[in-house]
């Protein structure tokens, strides 16, 4: 039996949709632009994990990063929405997750 390579976009949308509690297209778009919008330094410490009803959940690896990103929240929302060309995010919820 041979398998042909397939694009993973459809599968990724299904998996992410299951994680995000919806169709997943919003979080996929956010994940696609996250590094560019927030910059490499921030993305090393903060990752978007869920988008539901306009609330983006972002996990950070340290309480200091959570504090800093609380001050930048409004700016981040504006930049992400501008990059996506739509009002996808209304608010950002920050959670500290230690590994």
Q: What is the per-residue pLDDT for 4?
A: 74
pLDDT mean across residues, the chain: 84
Separation of CA 59 from chain center: 9
pLDDT at 56 over 50: yes
Q: Where are the domains positioned within the chain?
A: 25-96
Short-list 41, 32, 47, 45, CA closest to 84: 32
Of the pLDDT bands very low, low, confident and very high (cuts 50, 70, 90), residue 78 is very high
pLDDT at 29 over 50: yes
The model's pTM: 0.74
80, β-bridge pairs: none
Which structure tokens are listed for 51?
Answer: 């988008």
Q: What is the per-residue pLDDT for 18?
A: 45
pLDDT at 98 over 90: no
The CA distance from 22 to 52, in Å, is: 7
Of the pLDDT bands very low, low, confident and very high (cuts 50, 70, 90), residue 46 is very high
CATH architecture entry for 25-96 = 2-Layer Sandwich (3.30)
Of the pLDDT bands very low, low, confident and very high (cuts 50, 70, 90), residue 99 is low
């Amino acid at each position: 039996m041979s398998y042909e390579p397939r694009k993973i976009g459809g599968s990724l949308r299904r998996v992410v949709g299951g994680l995000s509690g919806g169709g997943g297209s919003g979080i996929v778009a956010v994940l696609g632009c996250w590094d560019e919008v927030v910059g490499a330094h921030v993305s090393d410490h903060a990752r978007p994990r869920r988008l539901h009803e306009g609330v983006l959940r972002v996990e950070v690896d340290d309480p200091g990063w959570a504090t800093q990103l609380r001050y930048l929240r409004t700016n981040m929302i504006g930049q992400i929405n501008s990059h996506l060309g739509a009002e996808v995010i209304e608010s950002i919820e920050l959670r500290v997750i230690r590994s």
